[in-house]
Structures are given as structure tokens and as C-alpha cells.
Amino acid sequence: MSGQTKLKIKKNALILFANNGYEATSMEKIASAVGIKKSSLYAFITSKEALFWEIYEELEHQYHNYMEQVLDDSKNMLPPARLHYLFKQYLMSSQSPSQQEAPVVQAFWIRAMFFPPVDLKDRLLMRALNREMKLGERYMEIIQDGIKQGLIRKDSPEEILLSYYSLRQGLYSLMNVFMHELTDEQKLDKIDKVWHNYWQGIEGK
């Protein structure tokens, strides 16, 4: 029973953090959503901040595992196709194990990354930087391999990767804030068109 209650607390807290933000989510609201007294929460968590980080770390772990799987699935592709595949898979997945939870997870990530709580901002940004630097090493290898094969133009791999990240994160924001009502088919069409324009700039001649 205690394990089920803890899961219920995290599930409802995730929804509240995603919809209302960290600052606007009180322990009282979490307790009310779960259907228990505020004092009872402390049998399962030590503080709101500790609960936030527990949820964040679980989602971060899911994200890392998902991206590692995508990288592994694409290991036999040529660099251009692999970069396109990674680009598309990142944008089309919320890294949520449940489709029902996907919009909530997306909203949580957007708030955490683009509208971080003031008290947690520095730590959140450092975590995101460290996470992407580790994955960035894998992306860099793909880009360097593409340059060696003449499939990607000879240019600074770091600059190509920066452009890749900038495009990906910009489109991610647009899709989840302004294009969330599009169907998956429409989103894929947008992704492919944006990628086509990007590829025209880095393609090896």
C-alpha cells in the first residue's frame, strides 16, 4: 500500500508541476490531489524540492535510456540518415512509457528547461548541460564520420552540432507550444521539411 501511495504522490505531483509550475504547486495541493492530509505526505517525502528532484531524475533516466536506444538502433545507418533519424525520434517522442502521460511529461520538460524555478535554475541548467554533453560526444562522432566519408561538408564539427541542437530545440519548442494540435502525420511532415532545409546547408558536395 505504501508503494502505491508513493507512486500516486509522484504521479499527481508530476501533473501539478507540469500544469502549474514548481512555485505554484504547494504541498497542500499535492496532498489534496492524492486524497491524503498534508502531514501524511511527510511519511513518503521530505520536502517539495526532494519530490521534484525524484521525479526529475526518473524522467531524466528515461530520456537517457531512450536516446541510447535510438543511437543503438541507428548504428548501421550512414551518417546523414542517422542524424535525420535521431532528429526525428527526439522530436516525436516524449520519452514517456505511457502515451497517456506523454503530454504531461512534455509540459514538465518545457517548464523545467525554459521556465525553471528560480531557486533550482542553476542546478537544472547544469544537469541539462552535463546530460547533453555526454550525448553530444556521440553526435560529434557521427558528424566527424560523415565529414570523413565526404557526406557532410568539411566544416567545424562543433559548429555543425551547435546548428543541429539549435534547430532541434527550436523546433521542439514550436511543436509543443504552438503546434501541439497538429496530428503526428503533420508533425512528421514539418520535421522532414525543416530537416531538408538544414541538410541542404551541411551536405557534402
Instruction: Report the CATH number of the 51-202 domain.
Output: 1.10.357.10
Domain extent listing, the chain? 1-45, 51-202
Q: Matching CATH topology for 1-45 and 51-202?
A: no
Q: Which CATH class is domain 1-45?
A: mainly alpha
Non-local (6+) Cβ contacts of 128 within 8 A are: 113
| Per-residue pLDDT, 95 | 53
pTM over 0.75? The answer is yes
**Tens digits of residue pLDDT in 140-163:** 999 999 999 999 999 999 999 999
**Tens digits of residue pLDDT in 12-45:** 999 999 999 999 999 999 999 999 999 999 999 9
Which regions of the chain are under pLDDT 70?
1, 94-100, 205
